[in-house]
Amino acid sequence: MAEPIRIMGICGSYGLDSANGHMIDLVKSECNKLGAEVVIWDNKRNPLPFVGEDGCWDHPNVKLFKDMANSVDSFILSSPEYHGTMSGVMKNSIDWLSFDQTSGKIFGLISTLGGQPNSTTLNHMRTSVRWMHGWAIPEQLVMANIKSTFNEEGEIIDNALNERLVKFAESLCSNSIKLRR
Ligand SMILES: Cc1cc2nc3c(=O)[nH]c(=O)nc-3n(C[C@H](O)[C@H](O)[C@H](O)COP(=O)(O)O)c2cc1C
């Protein structure tokens, strides 16, 4: 039997105890139901240095990050929108990836917003994915007005958004299988 698909979640918020960390968890649960494994980079536990800062190239967390990225078939990028684009944490994480880890692999994109929905952050991440020679799936999740998105149990209140999340996970997994190296 084929090995399960392995997916890496990269969170654009510093801690996983954030809306973006929670979104990755929700997608992880759906992907697990489909038989995929999901590993999540924890930037608070293993902070990545800024690309270019002194000593960064030999930093042990960079090796851990690249090892995790090398081990997966695909990625989830989930970023808060900051001033109309992805966060610095997300861009710095992306900048630590190179073709070795990303070329020909599938990416699923999520953005959360404090305000009204738009797809600017998603489009910016999509551009970065293209530059990494990855394939971003057309399904994407925009989580606007994030403070009123979840109920006390952490579930998404809007059923239509829940359905989009399920379809997002299905596409991520099925396309990862199609493009598996
Ligand atoms: C520096 C900064 C800039 C922000 N810019 C925007 C923005 O341009 N549009 C928007 O809707 N929300 C904006 N927000 C709100 C964040 O998108 C929101 O707090 C975030 O999506 C919540 O996710 P988190 O819990 O993972 O941090 C901004 C927040 C910060 C801290």
Encode pLDDT of 30-62 as tens digits: 999 999 999 999 999 999 999 999 999 999 999
Measured at the alpha carbon of residue 177, what is the angle toward residues 172 and 178, in degrees to the nearest 5?
A: 100
What is the distance in A from the centroid of ligand 1 to the CA of 85? Answer: 10
| Neighbouring residues of 86: CB distance < 8 A, sequence distance ≥ 6 | 12, 79, 111, 121, 124, 125, 128
DSSP 8-state secondary structure symbol assigned to residue 133: T
The structural domains of the chain, ordered by start, are 6-179 (3.40.50.360)
- Report whether 101 contacts 74 (CB < 8 A): no
Distance 113 CA to ligand 1 centre (A): 5
> Would you state the pLDDT for residue 99?
96
- Hey, what are 134's tokens? 């990855």
Instruction: Report which protein residue has its CA nearest ligand 1's atom 19.
Output: 114
Residue 1 has pLDDT above 70, yes or no: no
Measure 146 CA to ligand 1 centroid, in angstroms. 9
From the CA of 13, give the closest atom in ligand 1.
Answer: 26
What SS3 state is found at 92? helix
What pTM was computed for the model? 0.98
What residue ranges line ligand 1, CB within 6 angstroms?
A: 13, 18-20, 80-84, 112-115, 146
pLDDT tens for each residue of 119-173: 999 999 999 999 999 999 999 999 999 999 999 999 999 999 999 999 999 999 9
How do beta strands 74-82 and 85-86 pair? antiparallel
Closest C-alpha residue for ligand 1 atom 29: 82
User: Could you give the dihedral angle defined by the CA atoms of residues 45, 49, 51 and 54, in that order, rounded to the nearest 10 degrees?
Assistant: -160
Best of 26, 44, 83 to mutate for ligand 1, by most ligand atoms within 8 A of CB?
A: 83
* Distance, CA of 41 to CA of 84 (rounded, Å): 24
